[in-house]
Structure 1
Amino acid sequence: MFDELVKTLSEELPDFGRRLAMDSKAIASWASRPSKEKKEDGRRDLDAAYGVKTYRGTREDGSTWEKVVRWFGYKLHLVVDAKHELSVAYTVTKGSRSDVKEGHVLLDEMEKRHPEMLKKAEVLTADRGYDDSKLLSRCWDEYGIKPVIDTRRLWKDGEQTRLLPGHTNVVYDERGAVYCYCPETGARQQMSNGGFEKDRGTLKKVCPAKAYGITCQRREQCPVAGGVRVPLAVDRRIFTPIARESYKWAKEYRYRTAVERVNSRLDVSFGFERHTIRGLAKMRARCGLALCVMLAMALGRVREKQQERMRSLVRSVS
């Protein structure tokens, strides 16, 4: 039923599935902890596992914050259409399941059940929990989908920049920003984005003196005055078809919140904040039913020419 609804909505809405967002949702089991007894009695949850999600950010004053969420239960892994806020693929696992590993499973499911949607998709957004070079490479190499996935800080020993291969005065950081050094003064400037060359698989970086009009004393002698090309192959985790430090990347990344709004509707409108579900099979059935209801109501709105209300879960009284 779920797959049929996704297929029908894709036919009704030409842009359905063009922008995708991926995330996981913690769902606590009705059981509060694992049981030492392994025999089923209708009350124990023998499938659930402990899960942990860590959220980090930076405040306006530059200080960092961290929030750790722990639960005993399950994870709902979702891929949603970021414009219409409707699910296109999902899996339910134990709470201990890795987001990155299940991200590959979600792509496998879409390839098997909805290959036409992978061909249509242009962008996939996700948080740093999905920051993985294999996942990023797969999106672009196999499906032509531009991944917009936040980066984790994995460089160690205080490493801030690395030398760009083939250059002596160009470096890059873990966010994908590229900098050049003036041969005369040693002053560092961030190079401007010049777009992505699909046929070459490279990101173009423009000389800051040319892009911003700043003064560079040795511009005529600078080996990168004409700009540089950065192959994605330098580091597939850091360099992606949409440059990470570009305005376009920031704009696309904001679509990621669509999956969070879907999660919120599951909690509030479908009762996943307070439930009495135990067991993986029942949790999968309940999640699938809730997502089918969302899709069915959206399809009904579209066919009634009420597309602007397709996310609404209540009936209009007018």
Structure 2
Amino acid sequence: MFTSLVKQAEEMGLLDLSSVAIDATKVEAYEKSVPRKNIIQNGNAADWGIKSDTNGNPIKWFGYKLHIGTDVRSGLPIAMKVTPANYSDSSVALELVEKCCANTQSKIVYFLMDAGYDHREIYSVIRDKYHAQAIIALNKRGAKQPPEGFDWDGTPICSARYRMVYWGSYQGVNKFRCPHIMGKCDCPFGSAWCSDSNYGMVVKTKVKDDPRLFSSPHRGSANWQKQYNLRTYSERCFSRFKENLGLEDGLNVRKITKVETHAYLCAITMIAAVIAINQDSSTRSSAA
């Protein structure tokens, strides 16, 4: 029923699907908490989880995680999965990506995720298998320096140690120009030190060479940041689930299968309501 409603919403033009945000939220178990040593690790039992809130503060709970792929235009879920709370967000990412593509017909261009999903395999599979771009914040994981010749966001550093200027992307190739020529710095060596051309030195990076560091659009660009900012639509979806549809306060079932059923009923209610409102609006417009 959930998949059918997603397809109906897409056919009605309620979903954009060019960008899909993927994230996870905590779901506290209705059953009594038990010590971790007594939990049977079979992928079905409630477990202890820890996750940072929007301010970076750790939150610990006993229960499950709800993983959702959200259409950023409508804020509607298009793919879901419930796991024990100890599952990492990144371990479910590719399964959600697959479900998002299977549940819809439109081409998904961008998959938006936070730094918890920063794994090379996710970038590569999204690019190679689904021909889409992963927009994921970098997790430096204790790295003290960026890759040699580049800044943290994949911007090339010129021989005078200035950040080069992003000059567009075409078919997975990013172009960067001399910052002195572009008026972004006053290089003591001038542009002639790096290039004899009046155009200045040019450096190109290819996404296929390092899908994690390089992306199209470039990580340091306004377009990349604009896409990444859309990721907050997943938070709005979670908020509706919890505040309006009783995902937590109304949860009075035990075991992961029943919790997942409860979550799907929340999603079905949300999508069905949006479809009904838009169908009613269309009917009234036709009658007028």
SS of residue matched to 1:84: coil
* Matching of residues 229-244 of structure 1 within 5 Å: 229-244=204-219
* Matching of residues 146-225 of structure 1 within 5 Å: 146-154=133-141, 156=143, 158=144, 160-163=145-148, 171-182=149-160, 188-198=161-171, 201-212=172-183, 214-216=185-187, 217-223=189-195, 225=200
* Matching of residues 94-173 of structure 1 within 5 Å: 94-114=84-104, 116-117=105-106, 120-154=107-141, 156=143, 158=144, 160-163=145-148, 171-173=149-151
Q: Which residue of 2 aligns with 1:314?
A: none
Distance 1:89 1:175, change over 3 A: same
Aligned equivalents of 1:14, 1:285: Cα separation in 2: 24
Aligned equivalents of 1:235, 1:174: Cα separation in 2: 13
Query: 1:92–1:284: 8 Å Cα contact kept in structure 2?
Result: yes
Structure 1 alignment gaps of length 5 or more: 40-45, 58-65, 164-170, 183-187, 307-318
Question: What do the CA deviations read for 1:120-167 (whole angstroms, capped 9, x no partner)?
Answer: 2122211111111111122222223222111101353x2x2332xxxx
Q: Does 1:48 align with 2:46?
A: yes
Question: What do the CA deviations read for 1:240-267 (whole angstroms, capped 9, x no partner)?
Answer: 1121111111111111110100101111
Aligned equivalents of 1:30, 1:222: Cα separation in 2: 65
Q: Does 1:267 align with 2:242?
A: yes
Q: CA RMSD in A?
A: 2.4
Q: Identity of aligned pairs, percent?
A: 26
Corresponding residue pairs, total = 273
* Matching of residues 249-260 of structure 1 within 5 Å: 249-260=224-235
Q: Does 1:19 align with 2:19?
A: yes
Distance 1:56 1:292, change over 3 A: closer
Aligned equivalents of 1:139, 1:75: Cα separation in 2: 23
TM-score, structure 2 normalization: 0.87
Report the CA distance between 1:223 and its aligned residue.
4.6
Structure 2 alignment gaps of length 5 or more: 283-288
Q: Which residue of 2 aligns with 1:62?
A: none
Aligned equivalents of 1:134, 1:30: Cα separation in 2: 35
Q: Which residue of 1 aligns with 2:33?
A: 33
Q: Which residue of 1 aligns with 2:285?
A: none
Distance 1:236 1:203, change over 3 A: same
Q: Which residue of 2 aligns with 1:297?
A: 273
Aligned equivalents of 1:106, 1:196: Cα separation in 2: 28
Question: What do the CA deviations read for 1:1-22 (whole angstroms, capped 9, x no partner)?
Answer: 0000000111101753222111
Report the CA distance between 1:106 and its aligned residue.
1.0
Aligned equivalents of 1:38, 1:254: Cα separation in 2: 38
Query: 1:155–1:174: 8 Å Cα contact kept in structure 2?
Result: no
Matching residue's letter, 1:300: A
Distance 1:152 1:302, change over 3 A: same
TM-score, structure 1 normalization: 0.79
Q: Which residue of 1 aligns with 2:260?
A: 284
Report the CA distance between 1:34 and its aligned residue.
2.4
Q: Which of 272-281 and 256-265 deviates more?
A: 272-281
Q: Which of 223-232 and 189-198 deviates more?
A: 223-232
Question: What do the CA deviations read for 1:10-59 (whole angstroms, capped 9, x no partner)?
Answer: 110175322211100110101241278889xxxxxx710111113586xx
SS of residue matched to 1:238: coil
Q: Does 1:93 align with 2:83?
A: yes
SS of residue matched to 2:21: strand
Q: Which residue of 2 aligns with 1:60?
A: none
SS of residue matched to 2:181: helix
